[in-house]
């Protein structure tokens, strides 16, 4: 399978510890993830190419102008405002009280809180890195139309990024960029999010649209990140009513429950009349991550099941943070799809 990868994505590699359960843990979403995954895909014989430039109007289909300008300039402004060094990591720490009007504070410290819903650092290399990911997503989408399938090795991931919000390691919603590229040539595009965490950013971006069907299969968000969204009764609004579907699964669900959710998703994609598909692929569904309980051959079955839809398919990398799982499960999905 053709793999799009841009090494500039390695320029975002936070070192800030991650707080979980009262413990300081090393960061999970690092450049090393991409390097290990790339090595595994090369060992499996996949052809790795660098992406083309992106039509920047695609980014404005997904994110607002002011959000993109913020991301591009935030680190430089943070350094100027705080006197921090070039290698410093800018972490949001203050947020507006919900319901109060935002007074557009000029301080980048306030703007980081406004534009985020988590504690992800912005580094000097974050903007070039996330633009590299967007290029991979766009190029893979274009390639899928002529080649049938293509894979974008994107990191940091994208599906938690909303129109004006970063969080959950995500800054630009790469799956949404891919869908927007496909929409330039196709009338109806489906996004199937199979990361173990709900694709809250993707859902919100397409919430009122009927031309992009968004489906997410994930661990129940009453217990798991990203919380707040991801429930079955969230179906979209306005013109988009009926074009968002969630399949939350109980903690520990294995292949039999997962397969049923996949089949229900395929029925929706077919009745929608999708002409192209984006798969937001997270392999944190593996039992090693403690949310769902997929393993081993389940991943090649996911790949072959998705191929059975017979649609031009763009596979965009999302989560999966346990290195051995990442190296095994992602190639297994691709192998299942190609049948090689």
The set of catalytic residues is 160
d(CA 105, CA 115): 12
Can you tell me the distance from the alpha carbon of 197 to that of 220, in angstroms, rounded to the nearest whole number? 8
Least separation in angstroms between residue 333's CB and Zn ion is 15
Comparison of 194 and 276: residue with beta carbon closer to Zn ion:
194
Q: Which is nearer to Zn ion, 156 or 319 (CB)?
A: 319
Question: At closest approach, how far in Å is the CB of 158 from Zn ion?
Answer: 11
Question: For residue 313, with 0-12 CB atoms within 10 Å meaning exposed, 13-18 middle and 19 or more buried, which class applies?
Answer: buried
**Distance separating alpha carbons of residues 133 and 157, to the nearest angstrom:** 8
| Contact by Cβ (8 Å): 2, 147 | yes
* Distance, CA of 14 to CA of 186 (rounded, Å): 37
Closest approach, Cβ 285 to Zn ion, in A, equals 8
Q: Which is nearer to Zn ion, 215 or 311 (CB)?
A: 215
Nearer to Zn ion, 158 or 319 (CB): 319
Nearest alpha-carbon partner for 226 in 152, 286, 166, 281: 166
- When CB distances to Zn ion are compared, the closest residue is 319
The answer to whether 294 touches 303, Cβ cutoff 8 Å, is no
Distance in Å, CB of 248 to Zn ion, minimum: 14
Q: What is the largest CA-CA distance in the chain?
A: 56
Q: Rounded to whole angstroms, how far apart are CA atoms 324 and 329?
A: 9
Q: DSSP letters of 195-254?
A: SSS--HHHHHHTTT-SSEEEEEEEE-TTTSTT-SS--TT----GGGTTSEEEEEE-TT--
Which of 208, 185, 175 lies closest to 280 in space, CA to CA?
175
Closest by Cα among 260, 255, 258, 281 to 191: 281
Q: How far is the CB of 193 from Zn ion (least distance, A)?
A: 9
Question: Shortest Cβ distance from residue 148 to Zn ion (Å)?
Answer: 26
Smallest separation (angstroms) from Zn ion to the CB of 196: 5
Length of the chain: 340
Q: Cα dist. 201→62, 71, 173, 261, 266 in Å?
A: 10, 16, 7, 21, 21
The footprint of Zn ion (CB under 5 A) covers 195, 197, 282, 284, 319
């Amino acid at each position: 399978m053709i793999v799009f990868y841009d090494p500039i994505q390695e320029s975002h590699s936070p070192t800030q510890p991650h707080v979980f359960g009262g413990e300081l843990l090393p960061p999970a979403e690092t450049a090393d993830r991409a390097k290990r995954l790339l090595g595994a895909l090369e060992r499996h014989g996949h052809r790795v190419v660098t992406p083309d430039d992106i039509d920047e109007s695609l980014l404005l289909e997904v994110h607002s102008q002011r959000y993109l300008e913020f991301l591009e300039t935030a680190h430089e402004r943070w350094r100027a405002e705080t006197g921090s060094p070039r290698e410093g990591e800018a972490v949001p720490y203050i947020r507006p009280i919900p319901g109060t009007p935002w007074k557009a504070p000029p301080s980048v410290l306030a703007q980081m809180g406004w534009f985020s819903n988590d504690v992800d650092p912005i580094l000097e290399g974050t903007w070039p890195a996330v633009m590299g990911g967007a290029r991979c997503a766009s190029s893979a989408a274009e390639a899928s139309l002529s080649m049938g399938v293509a894979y974008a090795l994107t990191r940091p991931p994208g599906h938690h990024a909303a129109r004006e919000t970063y969080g959950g390691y995500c800054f630009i919603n790469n799956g949404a960029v891919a869908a927007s590229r496909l929409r330039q040539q196709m009338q109806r595009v489906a996004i199937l999010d199979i990361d173990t965490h709900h694709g809250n950013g993707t859902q919100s971006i397409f919430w009122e649209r009927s031309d992009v069907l968004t489906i997410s299969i994930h661990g129940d968000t009453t217990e798991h990140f990203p919380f707040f969204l991801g429930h079955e009764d969230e179906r979209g609004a306005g013109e988009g009513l009926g074009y968002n579907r969630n399949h939350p699964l109980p903690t520990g669900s294995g292949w039999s429950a997962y397969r049923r959710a996949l089949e229900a998703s395929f029925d929706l994609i077919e009745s929608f009349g999708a002409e192209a598909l984006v798969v937001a692929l997270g392999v944190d569904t593996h039992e090693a991550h403690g949310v769902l309980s997929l393993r081993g051959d389940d991943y090649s079955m996911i790949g072959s099941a998705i191929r059975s839809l017979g649609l031009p398919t763009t596979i965009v990398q999302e989560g999966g943070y346990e290195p051995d799982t990442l190296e095994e499960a992602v190639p297994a999905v691709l192998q299942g799809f190609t049948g090689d």
